[in-house]
Amino acid sequence: MVAAAYRSGHARVVALLEGLPDDGWRRPVPACPDWTVRDLLAHLVGTSADVAARRTAGFAGPDWTAGHVRDRADADVGTLLAEWEESLPATAEALDERRVPAAVVGDLTVHEGDLVEALGAPRPPWDGWAPTASVLVRQVVKGIRGPQALVVRAGGTEWRSPEDTREDVVRSVLRVDLYELYRGLSSRRSRAQMRGWDWEGPTDPWVDGLPVHGPRDDEQPVPPPPV
Burial of 93 (0-12, 13-18, 19+ CB in 10 A): middle
The whole-number pLDDT of residue 99 equals: 86
User: 86, 119, 152: which is the final residue of a domain?
Assistant: 119
- Quick check: is 223 in a domain? no
Domain co-membership, 6 together with 113: yes
Are 47 and 101 in the same domain?
yes
- Give the residue numbers spanning the domain of 46: 2-119
How many C-beta atoms surround the C-beta of residue 52 within 10 A? 20
88 lies in the same domain as 160: no
- The pLDDT score that the predictor gives to residue 193 is 98
Same domain flag for 14 and 111: yes
- Clarify whether residues 103 and 173 are in a common domain: no
User: Are both 201 and 109 inside the same structural domain?
Assistant: no
Residue 7: inside a domain: yes
Query: Residue 222: inside a domain, yes or no?
Result: no
- What tens digit of pLDDT does each residue of 145-193 get? 988 999 999 999 999 999 888 888 899 999 999 999 999 999 999 999 9
Residues 21-51 pLDDT 10s: 999 999 999 999 999 999 999 999 999 999 9
If residue 150 lies in a helix (H) or strand (E), which one and from where to where?
strand 148-154
Same domain, yes or no: 86 and 153? no
72 lies in the same domain as 24: yes
Residue 101 maps to a domain: yes
**13 and 82 share one domain:** yes
Asked if the structure places residue 203 within a domain, the reply is yes
Mean pLDDT of 99-113: 93
183 and 134 within one domain = yes
On whether both 45 and 142 belong to a single domain, the answer is no
Asked if residue 227 has pLDDT above 80, the reply is no
- Distance, in Å, from the CA atom of 5 to the CA atom of 106, rounded to the nearest integer, reads 10
Vertex 129 angle, CA 131 and 70, to 5°: 125
pTM of the model: 0.95
Residue 215 lies in a domain: no
Percent of the chain with pLDDT over 70: 100
Please say whether the beta carbons of 161 and 169 come within 8 A.
Answer: no
Buried/exposed code over 108-147 (b: 16+ C-beta within 10 A; e: otherwise): bbbbbbbbbbbbeeebbeeebbbebbbebbeebbeebeee
What's the number of domains the chain is made of? 2
In a domain, 81, yes or no: yes
Cα Rg of the chain (Å, integer): 18
Q: 142 and 40 in one domain?
A: no
